[in-house]
Homo-oligomer: A and B are copies of this chain.
Amino acid sequence: MINNKTFAQAFRNLRAKSPLIHNITNYVSVNDVANIILAVGASPVMSHAPEDTQDLLQVVKAVGGVLVLNIGTLDQQQVDNMFFAGKKANELGVPIVLDPVGAGATRFRTQTALKLLSTLKVKVVRGNMSEIKALIGLTGQTKGVDSVADESDGKTIVREAAKVLGTNVAVTGATDYISDGEQVVMVNNGVKYLSKVTGTGCMATALIGAFLTVADPLAAAAYGIAAMGLAGELAAETSAGLGTFRIGIFNNVEKLNADIILKKGKISNA
């Protein structure tokens, strides 16, 4: 079951556990990602060098943490770092979440994401519609790193993507769709304003990582995305503009609690 009740319980467990989330991520939203992980009640580590991640992943393993890979500002060195860390994480049994930022926009991004997915065991992939479409060879349109794809067929595409990629897939947009290849879960939290702040996708992916320490992948993807959406809704209520809204996201991820989740969460089966 994936619903507001299980979400609220997972949230309580997450706060109690305060898990360690290891991120190899881009230099654009890295500060926001670290702060959103702290806000949700987990501990972030950002590190990319093999000499460093090798030891870190032992600690992550010991405390039941997660590795989040994000290709937002990739180059060959960073790709190598991700493969090194990803293989080590697989050996140790540390779960991996992948954010294929900009897949479809460049061949380098599409191919890197696909190679990460074919080489590593990844628990959840989260992207927007054009990114996920690109990964399964459907023609998406990517304008930079923002999605412009039609979302009407989200349910079909997310299930197909999960089947083709052999992992749990989350497609975020006006409605978010999450699938393991069979079941499809929808999240209807969030506001359009979130797409006007850079890195909100990266932050959602990191929150999925945090929930993955206390829930199975399909549920964790739904909870992470819903947590980000709820924070966006609440931040928009008191926002004086885009800058204030962005700061409000952190306020409201921190303020999240079981009551808010039970009252405002919008998770449903598609």
Residue A211 CB within 8 A of the other chain: no
Q: Is the CB of A106 within 8 A of B243?
A: no
Residue A136 CB within 8 A of the other chain: no
A53-87 interface mask toward B, CB cutoff 8 Å, 1 = contact, 0 = none? Answer: 01110010001000000001111100000000000
A85 to B161 CA separation, bound complex (whole angstroms):
33
Report if A52-B35 is in contact (Cβ < 8 Å); known contacts: A45-B145, A251-B243. Answer: no
A106 to B55 CA separation, bound complex (whole angstroms):
5
A246 to B186 CA separation, bound complex (whole angstroms):
33
Residue A1 CB within 8 A of the other chain: no
Number of copies: 3
Pick the interface stretch among A22-30, A163-171, A176-184, A217-225: A22-30
Q: Interface extent on A, as a size class?
A: 35 or more
Q: Is the CB of B196 within 8 A of A38?
A: yes
A22 to B45 CA separation, bound complex (whole angstroms):
25
Q: Is the CB of B197 within 8 A of A146?
A: no
Residue A143 CB within 8 A of the other chain: yes
A1-37 interface mask toward B, CB cutoff 8 Å, 1 = contact, 0 = none? Answer: 0000000000000000000101000111111101100
Given A35-B242, A51-B106, list of 4 further CB < 8 A pairs?
A22-B144, A35-B198, A49-B74, A242-B251
Q: A residues engaging B (CB < 8 A)? A: 20, 22, 26-32, 34-35, 38-39, 43-49, 51-52, 54-56, 59, 63, 72-76, 102, 105-109, 142-146, 196-199, 240-244, 246-255
